[in-house]
Each structure stands twice: as structure tokens, then as C-alpha cells.
Amino acid sequence: MAERERLNTRQRGTVFVPKSQLLSPEEVQRAVRRMAHEILERHEDIANLVIIGLQTGGICFADRLAEVIREVSGVDIETGTLDVAFYRDDVTIRPVLESAETSVDADLANRVVLLVDDVLYTGRTIRAALNALADWGRPQAIQLAVMVDRGHREIPIRADYVGKNLPTSQAEAIDATLDGVWIGTLVKK
Amino acid sequence: MIDSIAGGNLVSLATLSQRAIVEVLDTAESFVEVNSRSVKKVPALKGKVIASLFFEESTRTRLSFETAAKRLSADVLSLAVASSSVKKGESLRDTINTIDALGIDAVVMRHSSSGAPVQVSRYVPHVRVINAGDGQHQHPTQGLLDAFTVRQVLAARAGTSGRESGSELFAWLNVLIVGDVRHSRVARSDIEVYTRLGARVTVAAPGTLLPPDIAQWPVTVATNFDEALATADVVGLLRLQKERGSGAFVPSLGEFTSTFGLTSRRAKLLRPETIIMHPGPMNRGVEIDSQVADSSAAVIEQQVRNGVPVRMAVLYLTTAGTTLESGSND
Amino acid sequence: MTNPTLVIRGGLIVGPLESFLGDVLITDGRIVEVGPSITAPSGAVEIDAVGSWVGPGFVDLHTHLREPGKESAETIETGAFAAALGGYSAVVAMPNTEPSLDSVAMVGYVLERGKSAAVDVAVAGAITIGRQGEQMAPIAKLAALGVRLFTDDGNGVQDAGLMRRALTYAQPLGVTLAQHCEDESLAQGGSMHEGAVSSKLGLTGRPAIAEELMVMRDIELVRLTGCSMHFLHLSTERSIALVIEARAQGLPVTCEVAPHHLTLDETACETFDSEFKVHPPLRTAADVAALRAALRAGAIDAVATDHAPHTPESKDMAFDEAPPGMLGLEQAAGLTLEALGGAEADPQVFFNVLSRGPARVAQMREQDVRVGHSAHGGAVSVGEDANLVIFDPNASYVVDRDNLASRARNTPYHGRTIHGRARATIVRGRLVQLEGNLQ
């Protein structure tokens, strides 16, 4: 399941080849838990939050964050998923991505949306997500939580909640799931 | 066989593998979701110019494609050539080159001659060509939306989603195609798509409306129409292709209806869960009784609705981006 | 002004029964000496034929020169150039021009224009006025002009009654009627062979039976009337078998096959490229094999090109709308060599099907009564009119559609390597082409 999700975020025809593990599963769980507490701290009315995971790498983190928040506060957070394949601005220079499901049940007006993704890199995915959200309505505010921030931004985007800052080179690739964070390379199939 | 239409043309379903077909169906599912929003538009093809070139008139298919293109934010050049000064016998090449000079990224074309899109793709290899129906050859998006509709209906019954089911729901499915197979591009496309997805296809028609070499096709020929109806999971009706000369192949429309029409009497032979389909436009009273067409077993309106997301998927996959493998995940 | 004396050196001279190495000396339009190591007079032009075959110039029974009416595609002049480059010393022009060659005036026009062409141009007259299949053309008057072959080619004569009358009328005149065998009611609307490929492509087909049924009909009409009949461009295994059987029964029938039916089959149409559209259509691989076998066995009288030029604009149409027909004069000999087995080809059979056989059917040999034409299809012996070709079976070249002598470019062989090439063509003692250059 994780493997299929991982494959879905890659370009068609490439596979992530891990080199070494940077965070163990326990370290990932701790980071998610810490972010959940940060989120609770910054939101007085936690029920007003809508957590939206970005397809496909952000889904597991969005679900886990919602779980921890429910554990700690007793409040059931509304969640959703967002696929941004159709909103990317670099569609002419990237291969066509497979699309996945978008489902957002909540009415976003007056709500605070927390976008969740696995890795923040150039920022283009988040920019596409902002474009997509604009078609869904006008939230009161949009915040961003990511498991890993690996730097190399090409757009002025920053995350509000970061699991781990990991400076990397552009030749490397990062894979982040609830089973751990790995550094490696992308190889053509 | 090609595994994906991404960055390529869609001229015939004969060259698409199962994987390529499922990719279109899955992508179409995403667009169904887009079509349910209040803003039914995504910027995926912003800046792209799509020409719709219909040498043969078809308001419904043309509007479906143009709607799909607009919902992808593409610019649409609509040329209803059938009513313009281009007459039969005028050079295809001239028409295409004129349009190409306007800088188009993709052309959706319908033509009365089989193979016209293949020839066009040779004249303008840098333009994506999408076949909206060529003579008796293929109507790929019809085949795809038919398969999409079947998957949608069966997935809903099974309580799952089409995307999750992949092609599983088609295994052991009995599809019965009735009518003018010989002259029908929809039949050729449907047979390709259903057999590739794993279904079993049976055809039923008067002898003259089957191609002479039907024994070599990957289908069974029904010897008893009533029996075939009773065992079919899907019944796909074809229109008598009068404009393609099928009129001379049967003694009269009345005789066709009495032997192969889906009359109210025959509809009673169907199982309650059998799906009835028709690519439209229907000849009510000929291949299908009005009552049957309006019954709950018929998913004809659903087929029409699915035309837009399926065509969005096709336009998106063929026209967005290139097959360049560059960039990174971010 | 007379042509210079020519001497052909060291080629394999292919006679009707045997071949031998030697030289050929040509003066004043005739062969004056044949033998080893000929001493040539001073001023004679030497033509090297070492490694090549020397034989009678090819005769094409079936060429569309398009003049009058469609000169944008080809003219008598350009068609004759294409013929010369292909090794032909004579062609028979088909009558489906505009207007048709169905009158003394039109036939006379083409014969006159042909006099200044690079090769000998004979004319096939139409069987019916306008090739409409309704009323007989003035066959006797045209025969007096020298016409020996009559055909409505482009179409077959559909009405059996009319065909019987035409055969009966022509029989005492010593001429031959030639038929494009395709029953219109069966072939109607079809643009390629009716079979698995046409079915998959959604193209209406022209079934084999459309040709075979008319072959059967005409064989019986020949039996009834006793007139000679020549079957044009037969394309199926069964058609050939029918004619062989009829010939064995002593009927005066002959037949030809076209190079494209010897080398291409229905699968060539899968790309919907109208260069491959022709009537009768490209058939199955089994038909191609059967035609080749019959050719090698000597059962086919002639290879005839059915050279059919079309302007690029007219071929640039949808497959079912484009006109049928492909070029053939320049590649026919090499393709025939391929069909005969390439390196294993029998030079006797080669010259029989390309020259001697067609010359016999067209009545253009030494012993035939000819009007205004020299003699073709000879034995390469002293005294004969010098219509010769030097053919190198080992030369090869790649077909380039932009580099043809024909005005048109509709060849299906663009990019294909052809083995075997006419290095020189001599017509009435004049060297008309040497190494691919018109003289």
C-alpha cells in the first residue's frame, strides 16, 4: 500500500531507490505527535479546522494528524483529500501525472484549511494545491504542515508546521511515510 | 500495443493495451469529480489550442468534446467543416495545413472516411490527433465512455469505486452487441475495449450486417437472439448506419426490428440487472422501443454524461505535457 | 540525321532459347552483327555490358500516359522517358484518357504525338464509346490505324451481351480484346481487398470473386466466339488458375500480372496510405505467392506495369476518396527480377515476361503486321530492328519519389531498395538512356 502510494507520486516510469534511513518509524511518529500539539496550541477552535491531505504522499500524514488530535482533544477533525495533477503549472515540462481522488466534503467558507504533504521541495505542488483550493471556495485561512522540508524552494512558500528540516542536494530524492524517512535516488524503471 | 496515450494520439483502440485503457478510465473518474463542483474547470490545458474539425456533422459529440476542452481551460477553435466550403474530395492536407498554420496543439476530428485521422497524423506529426469517429473504422472515445459507464454501474452495485476495481469487473462479463456491426465504428471500438478489459463479447445481427470475416473476430456470433439476451450482462445496441449504406443490406427497417430490435417483448427476456446501452442518436422504434429506452435498465443518459469526463481524460492525457522525463517530485 | 553506330560489349545475350556471352553491333537502326569480340568501326559508341544481360527492349502492355486530358499527371513525352529509364523500348497506351481513345481522331492524335517520343508508343483503343460500356467503338477503323488491342481499362465491360457482340465483331479482324476484370456490382464502393484487413480497418472491400467471376464469364465468351482475349492485371490465385486451365483447353487467352501484385499485399494498406490504393487491389500474401509461382513456371504471358500517374493533390485525399493507381515503369524490371527469385532468376523467363510475351500479345514482333512501329521482342539476331535493353541484375538503388522521370510521384516503393536496373535502353538503334541519364 505504501509502495503503491510512493510510486504514484513519482514521475511515470521511475522508482525510488533508498540509500539510507534518516528517520526511523518511531522518530516519524514522534514528529507527527509534536506537530499535532503545535497545531492544537495555535488553534483555539480546533473543530473549525479542515485537514486536507495532498495525494498521494500527504494522505497518511493527514490521517495520522487527525487521529492524534482526536486522541488528545476528543474532537473529530474533518478531513479530505486533494489531487493536484490538473493544477500544476509545469505541465508542459513534466510528464503527465496519474490523477487520484479528490474528496472534500466540507464547505470551506470560514474554515481554516490545513494542507498536509509528505515532502516540501520546490513548492510547486503547494502552489497547485492553492490554485485547486481556490476553485473550491474561499477558506478563512490556509496553513501548511509537512513531514520533511528539504529546501530548494522555487516559489515563496513556507510551511507552518515541519516534522524535520533536511537539507539535501537536488540529485537526491526523499521518501517520507509513516514507516520512516529515507534518502535515495530516482531511477528509471 | 502501447501502454499509455500520454503525449500521443488516440486514433484507434486496437493499439491500446489494457493498462492504457484503464489509465483513461481512472483519469476520467477524477474528472467526474471535477464536473460535480460548482466551478467545473481546471487549468490543466491552459494555453493549449484545440481545434475541433468535424467533416461529418454531429452536434452531440462535437459539443461534448468542446465542453471537455473548455473545462480544461483550453482555447477551442470550432470548425464545423461539414457546412463550410470544404467539399468531399478536397485535399485533406490543405485543410489541415491551413489549420496548423494557426498554431494548434491538438485536433479532434470526425470524418466520413476510414483512416482520415491516421493520414492527418502523418501531415501534422507535432499535433495531437484525437479521432471522434472515422468512417466505419473506430470511435475510440465512444468505446471508452461505454466501458467507463459499465464500470461505474457495476462498481456502484458492488459498493466500490471504478478506480479501485481496475478491470476486475469485466472478467466474465457477457456483453452482447446488437445491430449493424459491419458498418459500425462504434462496434469496432466497443469490441476492442471490452475484449481488452477481459469481457466476453457476443454479436447478434442479420447475416448481411456482420463483416464477411466475423468468424475470425474475437467474438461469438449468437445463433439464437432470445437466448443471447437472457444471458447478457450488458446489451449494446447499434444504430442502423443508413448514411453508410446499410439500408441496402436489410429488406426493410420493419424486418430488422422484428428480427433484431430490442422490443418491449424482448426486453422482458433480460435479467433485471442487465444494463442496456446505446451510443445515440437512437432510432426509437427501430433498434429499440421507446419504452425500453426510457426504462431504468437503460443507462443512455449516463453514457452521454460520461462523455465529457472521458473526453477530458483523453484530451488531458494526450495534450497536457510531453513524454519528456524531466523535473522532480516536490 | 542518323544515329551513331553502337557496339555493346561483353554482355550475356539472352536469346529465346539460350544465352551466350558476346557483343552486338548496331547501325542505322538495325542489329548488323552479333558474336564474340566484334571489331567495331571507328566512331562507334562503346557500351559496356559486362556482368549485364542484353536482350530485347521491354514492352509494356499497360501504360497510362494520361494525354490527352490529364497532362498535369503525365504526358506522352514524360511517360516515354520513364519507360526508357525502366528499360522499355515500347509501350501500349491505355485509352482512359479525356476524351477516351475511342475514335480515329483521338487514336491518331496519340500515335502522332508518340512519333517523337523516346520509345515506340502503340495505342490500345476503347471497346466502347466513352468506355461507357453501352455502344461499340469503331473497332475496324481503329484496327486500320494499327490498333491491335482494345480495352475499356479502368473498368471492365459489365454487360455480357455487349461483350459477346464485341468479341464476335473483333474476331475476324485479328485483334485482341483485353479486359479489366471487376464486376462493379460486387466491387462497388470498395477501396481495398475484401478480407481480414479491410474488415479491421473499416474499409469497404473489393472481393476476389468480383475479378474471378468476370474471368470465368469472359473465358466462356471466348469459347463461344473464338476471339482472342487478354486478361489485364490478374491479381488472385484463382484467376491465374482459371486462365491456365482455359489455355490448356486450347482457348486463345493470354494474361498479365502487375509488379505490385507480385510484391505487395493487403497489409500495405494498414497505414491508410493512398499510394497503396489500386484496382484491382493488393491481395493476400497467398495470392502474391501464387502469382510468383505461376510467373516462375512460365504460365504468365506478360508482366505489365499498369503505370498510373496521379498528381500529389489527388492522392492526398482520404483513402476511399483517392483515385486508384500507382506508378510502375521505372521499377518494374527490378521488381520482376525479385519475383523471379532475384539471383536465381532465369533470364529466359525474365525476357519472356517483360519483352517477348508482351510483344506477341501486342502484335509488335518482326512477323506481325505493324503500322508505323518498329519490331520488338526479337531474338537479338542480325537484321532485326535494334530495340534492346542492357539490364544489370546486380545493380541496386533506392527508389526516390522526388527523382523520377515521371511527372507524378505516386510510387509505393519510395525508400525501397530495388535490385536490378536497366543500364541502357536502345530504341530503333538510338541510345535513349545510359546509366539512368536520358540522352
Check pLDDT > 90 for residue C359: yes
How many beta-carbon pairs below 8 A join chains A and B?
96
Q: DSSP strand E in B38-98: where?
A: 49-54, 75-79
- List C residues 301-360 in contact with B (Cβ-Cβ < 8 A): 313, 316-321
Element (H, E) at B255: helix B253-260
Predicted confidence band at A97 (pLDDT cuts at 50, 70, 90)? low
Distance CA A124, CA C101 (A): 74
Question: What contacts C192, CB < 8 A, 6 or more positions away?
Answer: C198, C201, C203, C205, C206, C266, C269, C276, C277, C281, C282, C319
**DSSP per residue, C13-45:** EE-SS-EEEEEEEEETTEEEEEESSPPPPTTPE
For residue B146, the one-letter residue type is: D
Contacts of B323 in chain A (CB under 8 A): 95
Predicted confidence band at B326 (pLDDT cuts at 50, 70, 90)? very low
Handedness of CA B302, B308, B309, B314 (dihedral sign): positive
Task: Find out whether A164 and A32 touch, Cβ atoms under 8 Å.
Answer: no
Q: Does B72 touch chain A (CB under 8 A)?
A: yes
Mean per-residue pLDDT, B195-214: 96
Place of cell 482472342: C228
Taking an 8 Å cut-off on Cβ atoms, the answer to whether B114 and C202 are in contact is yes
Distance CA A49, CA B206 (A): 64
Q: Does B105 touch chain A (CB under 8 A)?
A: no
Q: Does B36 touch chain A (CB under 8 A)?
A: no
Question: What contacts A44, CB < 8 A, 6 or more positions away?
Answer: none
Mean per-residue pLDDT, C261-267: 98
Mean per-residue pLDDT, B127-146: 97
Angle between the B185-197 and B140-158 helix axes, to the nearest 10 degrees? 40
Taking an 8 Å cut-off on Cβ atoms, the answer to whether C318 and B92 are in contact is yes
How is residue C266 annotated by DSSP? G
Give the domain ranges of chain B.
Answer: 18-138+307-320, 140-304
Q: DSSP strand E in C159-252: where?
A: 176-179, 192-193, 205-206, 228-231
How is residue C57 annotated by DSSP? P
Query: What nine digits make up the cell of A180?
Result: 520512516
Mean per-residue pLDDT, A84-102: 69
Task: Find out whether C392 and C318 touch, Cβ atoms under 8 Å.
Answer: no
Query: What nine digits make up the cell of A23?
Result: 528517520
Task: Find out whether A32 and A93 touch, Cβ atoms under 8 Å.
Answer: no
Q: How far is CA A148 from the centre of its chain?
A: 9
Place of cell 466513352: C130
**Which candidate from B116, B188, B213 shows the least CB-CB separation from C318?**
B116
Contacts of B94 in chain C (CB under 8 A): 313, 316
Mean per-residue pLDDT, B147-163: 94
Residue C249's pLDDT is 98
What is the predicted ipTM? 0.89
Which of A9, A16, A83, A96 to mutate: most B Cβ within 10 Å? A96
The alpha-carbon gap from C317 to the nearest alpha carbon of chain B, in Å, equals 5
Closest B-chain CA to C200: B137
Residue whose C-alpha is closest to residue B53's, from B113, B112, B110: B110
Contacts of B90 in chain C (CB under 8 A): 317
Distance CA C80, CA C433 (A): 11
Taking an 8 Å cut-off on Cβ atoms, the answer to whether B328 and A119 are in contact is no
Closest A-chain CA to B162: A101
Distance CA C160, CA C224 (A): 12
Burial bucket for residue B16 (CB in 10 Å: 0-12, 13-18, 19+): buried
- Say whether B200 sits in a helix, a strand or coil: strand
Predicted confidence band at B90 (pLDDT cuts at 50, 70, 90)? low
The alpha-carbon gap from C315 to the nearest alpha carbon of chain B, in Å, equals 8
Distance CA A22, CA B80 (A): 60
Predicted confidence band at B95 (pLDDT cuts at 50, 70, 90)? confident
For chain A, the distance separating the N- and C-terminal CA atoms, rounded to the nearest angstrom, is 19
Domain C58-361 has CATH 3.20.20.140: yes
The alpha-carbon gap from C204 to the nearest alpha carbon of chain B, in Å, equals 9
The alpha-carbon gap from C174 to the nearest alpha carbon of chain B, in Å, equals 43
Query: What nine digits make up the cell of C331?
Result: 521499377
Task: Confirm whether C306 is a catalytic residue.
Answer: yes
Task: Find out whether B322 and A92 touch, Cβ atoms under 8 Å.
Answer: yes
Handedness of CA C206, C212, C217, C223 (dihedral sign): positive
Place of cell 568501326: C41
Residue C382's pLDDT is 97
Taking an 8 Å cut-off on Cβ atoms, the answer to whether A95 and B6 are in contact is yes
Higher pLDDT, B64 or B85: B64
Contacts of B217 in chain C (CB under 8 A): 199
Count CA atoms within 13 Å of residue C55 on its CB side.
31
Query: What nine digits make up the cell of A58?
Result: 500527504
Q: DSSP strand E in chain B: where?
A: 49-54, 75-79, 106-111, 128-134, 174-178, 200-204, 220-221, 234-237, 275-277
Closest C-chain CA to B93: C316
Task: Find out whether C312 and C410 touch, Cβ atoms under 8 Å.
Answer: yes
Check pLDDT > 90 for residue A89: no
- List B residues 247-286 in contact with A (Cβ-Cβ < 8 A): none
Each residue of C9-30: pLDDT tens digit? 999 999 999 999 999 999 999 9
How is residue A97 annotated by DSSP? P
Return phi, psi of residue C31, to 5°.
Answer: -80, 120
Check pLDDT > 70 for residue B325: no
Mean predicted lDDT score pLDDT of chain C: 96
- Say whether C211 sits in a helix, a strand or coil: helix
Task: Find out whether A102 and A93 touch, Cβ atoms under 8 Å.
Answer: no
Taking an 8 Å cut-off on Cβ atoms, the answer to whether C203 and B137 are in contact is yes
Taking an 8 Å cut-off on Cβ atoms, the answer to whether C203 and B212 are in contact is no
Distance CA C260, CA C335 (A): 8
Closest C-chain CA to B189: C200
Distance CA A95, CA B329 (A): 11
Q: DSSP strand E in A33-74: where?
A: 49-54
Check pLDDT > 50 for residue C255: yes
Domain B18-138+307-320 has CATH 3.40.50.970: no
Query: Which positions in chain A have a beta carbon within 8 angstroms of at least one beta carbon in chain B?
Result: 9-14, 83, 85-88, 90-96, 98-103, 119-125, 131-132, 135-136, 170, 173, 186, 188
Residue A8's pLDDT is 41
Place of cell 500516359: C65
Question: What contacts B312, CB < 8 A, 6 or more positions away?
Answer: B28, B31, B34, B68, B71, B72
- Say whether B210 sits in a helix, a strand or coil: coil
Name the pairing type of β-strands A14-23 and A180-188: antiparallel
Taking an 8 Å cut-off on Cβ atoms, the answer to whether B138 and C202 are in contact is yes
Count CA atoms within 13 Å of residue C97 on its CB side.
28
Count CA atoms within 13 Å of residue C113 on its CB side.
18
Check pLDDT > 80 for residue C130: yes
Closest B-chain CA to C271: B118
Residue C142's pLDDT is 97
**Cα separation values, C414 from B23, C85, C263, C402, Å:** 38, 17, 14, 9
Taking an 8 Å cut-off on Cβ atoms, the answer to whether B135 and C202 are in contact is yes
Check pLDDT > 70 for residue A90: no
Predicted confidence band at B330 (pLDDT cuts at 50, 70, 90)? very low
Taking an 8 Å cut-off on Cβ atoms, the answer to whether B213 and C195 are in contact is yes
What percent helix, strand, coil does chain A show, rounded to 5?
30, 35, 35
Check pLDDT > 50 for residue A9: no
Predicted confidence band at A12 (pLDDT cuts at 50, 70, 90)? low
Task: Find out whether C49 and C22 touch, Cβ atoms under 8 Å.
Answer: no
Element (H, E) at B32: helix B18-34
Q: Do B and A make contact, counting contact as 3+ CB pairs within 8 angstroms?
A: yes
Task: Find out whether B57 and B80 touch, Cβ atoms under 8 Å.
Answer: yes
Contacts of C203 in chain B (CB under 8 A): 114-115, 135-137
Residue B140's pLDDT is 98
Task: Find out whether C213 and C263 touch, Cβ atoms under 8 Å.
Answer: no
Each residue of B25-83: pLDDT tens digit? 999 998 998 888 878 888 899 989 999 999 888 889 999 999 999 999 999 998 777 65
Check pLDDT > 50 for residue B328: no
Query: What nine digits make up the cell of A127?
Result: 502552489
Taking an 8 Å cut-off on Cβ atoms, the answer to whether B114 and C203 are in contact is yes
Pick the CATH number of C6-53+382-395+419-438 from 2.30.40.10, 1.10.3720.10, 2.40.10.10, 3.20.20.70: 2.30.40.10
For residue C72, the one-letter residue type is: S
Distance CA B330, CA C3 (A): 82
Mean predicted lDDT score pLDDT of chain B: 90
Place of cell 469472359: C218
Mean per-residue pLDDT, C112-123: 97
Distance CA C157, CA C133 (A): 5
Task: Find out whether C420 and C337 touch, Cβ atoms under 8 Å.
Answer: yes
Task: Find out whether C129 and C155 touch, Cβ atoms under 8 Å.
Answer: no
Residue whose C-alpha is closest to residue A43's, from A108, A113, A107, A116: A113
Task: Find out whether A18 and A184 touch, Cβ atoms under 8 Å.
Answer: yes
Long-range contacts of B202-206 (CB under 8 A, 24+ apart): B202/B174, B202/B175, B202/B176, B202/B177, B202/B228, B202/B232, B203/B176, B203/B177, B203/B178, B204/B176, B204/B177, B204/B178, B204/B228, B204/B260, B205/B178, B205/B179, B205/B180, B205/B181, B205/B260, B206/B249, B206/B250, B206/B256, B206/B259, B206/B260
Q: What percent of chain B has pLDDT over 70?
A: 92
Distance CA C215, CA C182 (A): 9
**Which candidate from B91, B137, B217 shows the least CB-CB separation from C202?**
B137
Mean per-residue pLDDT, C124-136: 97
The alpha-carbon gap from A101 to the nearest alpha carbon of chain B, in Å, equals 6
Give the domain ranges of chain C.
Answer: 6-53+382-395+419-438, 58-361
For residue B13, the one-letter residue type is: L
Taking an 8 Å cut-off on Cβ atoms, the answer to whether B213 and C199 are in contact is yes
Closest A-chain CA to B312: A86
Contacts of B328 in chain A (CB under 8 A): 11, 121-122, 170, 173, 186
Which of C185, C273, C317 to mutate: most B Cβ within 10 Å? C317
Exactly one of C183, C265, C287, C306 is catalytic; name it. Answer: C306
The alpha-carbon gap from B279 to the nearest alpha carbon of chain C, in Å, equals 18
Taking an 8 Å cut-off on Cβ atoms, the answer to whether A119 and B317 are in contact is no
- Report the length, in residues, of chain A: 189
Mean per-residue pLDDT, C154-164: 96
Query: Which positions in chain B have a beta carbon within 8 angstroms of at least one beta carbon in chain C?
Result: 14, 88-94, 111-116, 118-119, 122, 134-138, 185, 188, 211-213, 216-217, 245
For residue A173, the one-letter residue type is: A
Q: Do C and A make contact, counting contact as 3+ CB pairs within 8 angstroms?
A: no
Closest C-chain CA to B90: C317
Dihedral of CA atoms B32, B33, B39, B40 in degrees, nearest 10, equals: -20
**Which candidate from B122, B137, B216 shows the least CB-CB separation from C201?**
B137
Distance CA A86, CA B46 (A): 10
Architecture of domain B140-304: 3-Layer(aba) Sandwich (3.40)
